[in-house]
Amino acid sequence: MDGEAQRSVSFRSNRRGERNNQSPYSKDSEGELFSPGRLPQDYPMKIVWKKGFIRLVLVAGILWMMLILIALLFHVWSCQSSVSFFSAICNKDSKVFTVLDTMGLVPKPQHRCPIPLANDPDKVVIPEGRTHDRLVKDLFFVMEDDQWNNRSQTAPLFGGQESWSQREKSFKLNSTMKVHCGFIRNSGAEMAPSDIKYVKKCRFVVASGIFDGYDVPHQPSNISLRSKKLFCFLMVLDEISLKFIKENVTIRDDGNGGKWVGIWRLVLLKHPPYDEPRRNGKIPKILLHRLFPQAQYSIWIDGKMELIVDPLLMLERYLWRGKHTFAIAQHKHHCSIYEEADANKRRKRYARPLIDLHMKIYCYEGMPSWRPGGKTISDVPEGAVIIREHTPMSNLFSCLWFNEVDLFTPRDQLSFGYVVYSGMGKEPHRA
Question: Residue 405, Cβ neighbours under 10 Å: how many?
Answer: 24
Counting Cα atoms < 13 Å in the Cβ hemisphere of 365 gives 16
Closest CA to 403 of 150, 171, 154, 135: 171
H or E segment to which residue 237 belongs: strand 231-237
Q: What is the pLDDT of residue 88?
A: 53
Closest CA to 398 of 416, 421, 410, 383: 416
DSSP annotation of 190 reads B
- Do the strands 326-330 and 252-253 form a parallel or antiparallel pair, or are they unpaired? unpaired
Q: Is 312 helix (H, G, I), strand (E, B) or coil?
A: helix
* Residue pair 130/294 in contact by the 8 Å Cβ criterion: no
Dist CA 40 CA 233 (whole Å): 89
Dist CA 319 CA 317 (whole Å): 6
Model pLDDT for residues 1-28, shown as the tens digit of each residue = 445 544 444 444 444 444 444 444 444 4
Task: Tell me the torsion sign for CA atoms 34, 35, 38, 40.
Answer: positive
Contacts by 70-73 with C-beta closer than 8 Å and gap 24+? 72/96, 72/100, 72/105
* Residue type at position 248: N
Model pLDDT for residues 236-268, shown as the tens digit of each residue = 999 999 999 999 999 999 988 899 999 999 999
Model pLDDT for residues 323-379, shown as the tens digit of each residue = 999 999 888 888 899 999 999 999 888 899 999 999 999 999 988 888 887 788 888
